A and B are shown apart, each in its own frame.
Chain A
Amino acid sequence: MAPRFRTRSSWLAGLLLPAVAVAQPSLPDRHLNQPGPFFLTVQFAGGIGVVAVGGGYWLANRRVEPELLVGRVPRSLGGRGMTMFTLRTTYTPFAPQLGRGNWHMSPLSVGAQATYTTGKQFFLTNRSAGRYPKGYYWWSPKVRLGAFAGLRLTYQPDYDPRGWRPGRTTLYANLSTNDLHLVSHLTNRSLRLPEILTLGLGAKAGW
């Protein structure tokens, strides 16, 4: 009944905060204005659907990546079919070039996301559920807030990016958690960090 907030030190907070905020423009100048600012994303797992697809718009020399994803969990895995809408921003402070080639490796990307799940079993507020007194449950099952950290590998070919071929392709892996898993971890010494992490694998293509 009564929620418990026992604090504990955790290196998770340190991991998820963009500690490497100082960034140098490590992408060569020829890449700065091309390819274009739009990208498409496809992600496997990571708590936002079995497969989530979407896209976004690069900002700040492609260091900041706001995007919207739509994910789906079929009935066989979700009990009921669920559609999940995720609004997410990734911050990639630097993407050093690997040697003299077309590959860039970002050792750290961090970000935050909010996920909205369809289905009337997920109420937004106690009030909207219509059966609970005020303050009965303090969280909303419909919206999860999350944070993630990951790494990525980007390929930027030399050819003219105009046309259907993407000018940049990125493969990434993220470890994420959400607010409720994090609260569980922070209030229990024995709930280890790996127990609250979720792996997501994805690809992005930019034009």
Chain B
Amino acid sequence: MKAPRILKLYPVLLLASATLAACGLLEYSPNQTHVPAAERHLTAQNVARLAQQPKTSNDTVRFVFIGDSQRFYDEAEELVASVNQQPNIDFVVVAGDISDFGLVREMRWVHHRLQRLRVPYLTVIGNHDQVGNGRLIYQQVFGPLNYTFTYAGTRFIFLDTNSREYGFNGRVPDVGWLRQQLADTAGTRRQVVVCHVPPLDADFDSTLTSSYARLLRQSPQLTLHLAGHVHRYTAGQPFHDGVPYLTTYSFAKHRYLVLSVWGQRNFHLETVAYGAALPHS
């Protein structure tokens, strides 16, 4: 039996719509969560890639720490070019505010640039990533808001500290979850906490600040607390308890930190300038 003409057209239409979707022309709403399958669950993809990656050392982790890529696409390309020239980098951490408006395309634009990194990159959710449908989009494109992975004896704990986006409901950051992760010290020597809003910021739930800081202070493996949000490098012990709290540059600052952690809570920090910050460009 001869197939109707429309059925012969069907594979062509399917291919056409897949092509359009892949190049991003096909969009139902700027707030949709739908993305091509290859661009879903990027956190899990990158953690899996990291697990496959040959380690430069069994006891040292060396990673790039930068934040707030929001609407800095030119800088994202310059960052990739710079990081790809760095020797012995294990991965890149982006400390939240991947997007500026919480739109699906922004997260894809950032991914389309950062996927050219030679090493995996890992993100934590920022406040801008939660605007509108952003939280659901982040969960679809990247994955869980709170997650951990272990690399070279170091447990990295990523958590959502964007309390204002939840109207300061007393449940964000999830201190109970953080306590469980910090208590799990089997097989690791160090812990690093990564979030977006630092604990003394006005966007952090002030009713949770003291229990959060106490928890970190009482965690013997905790090496560093890392945050973004403020778009600049700061380092100190705001709670005067021996716990180092760092914040990092936004993409716009043309600088990133290279952090090395090893041994018993040792860390080392370098600042690298890239793109427009370099004198010759």
Contact A197 B30 (CB under 8 A): no
Contacts of B133 in A (CB 8 A): 78-80, 82, 119, 121-122, 141
Contacts of B208 in A (CB 8 A): none
Q: Which residue of A lies closest to B229 (CB)?
A: A1
Contact B164 A184 (CB under 8 A): no
In the assembled complex, the Cα of A81 lies from the Cα of B213 at a distance in Å of 39
B147 at the binding interface (Cβ < 8 Å): no
Contact stretch, chosen from A59-67, A104-112, A129-137: A129-137
B233 at the binding interface (Cβ < 8 Å): no
Contacts of A195 in B (CB 8 A): 24, 105, 109
Contact B31 A122 (CB under 8 A): yes
Contacts of B28 in A (CB 8 A): 45, 47, 49-50, 71, 73, 77-78
Contact B26 A78 (CB under 8 A): no
Contacts of B77 in A (CB 8 A): 190
B103 at the binding interface (Cβ < 8 Å): yes
B27 at the binding interface (Cβ < 8 Å): yes
Contact B131 A190 (CB under 8 A): no
In the assembled complex, the Cα of A187 lies from the Cα of B106 at a distance in Å of 13
- What's the nearest-Cβ distance from chain B to residue A131, in Å? 5
Contact A181 B105 (CB under 8 A): yes
Contact B31 A77 (CB under 8 A): no
Contact B27 A78 (CB under 8 A): no
With known contacts A77-B34, A117-B31, A131–B71 Cβ distance under 8 A: no
A180 at the binding interface (Cβ < 8 Å): yes
Contact residue range for chain A?
35 or more
A191 at the binding interface (Cβ < 8 Å): yes
In the assembled complex, the Cα of A141 lies from the Cα of B72 at a distance in Å of 20
B160 at the binding interface (Cβ < 8 Å): no
Show the binding face of A for B, using Cβ within 8 Å. Answer: 1-4, 45-50, 71, 73, 76-80, 82, 84, 117, 119, 121-122, 130-132, 137, 139, 141-142, 144, 175, 178, 180-181, 183-184, 187-191, 194-199
Question: Can you list 11 residue pairs at the A/B interface with Cβ under 8 Å?
Answer: A4-B71, A131-B165, A142-B132, A178-B30, A180-B100, A184-B100, A188-B73, A190-B76, A194-B23, A195-B105, A195-B109
Beyond the given pairs A77-B28, A78-B29, 20 more chain A to chain B contacts, judged by CB atoms under 8 angstroms and listed by A's residue number, are A46-B27, A47-B28, A49-B28, A49-B29, A71-B29, A76-B34, A77-B34, A79-B32, A79-B140, A119-B133, A141-B102, A178-B30, A180-B100, A183-B71, A188-B74, A190-B73, A190-B76, A195-B105, A198-B26, A199-B20
Show the binding face of B for A, using Cβ within 8 Å. Answer: 20, 23-34, 68, 71-74, 76-77, 100-103, 105-106, 109, 113, 131-133, 136-137, 140, 164-165, 167-168, 229-231, 250, 252
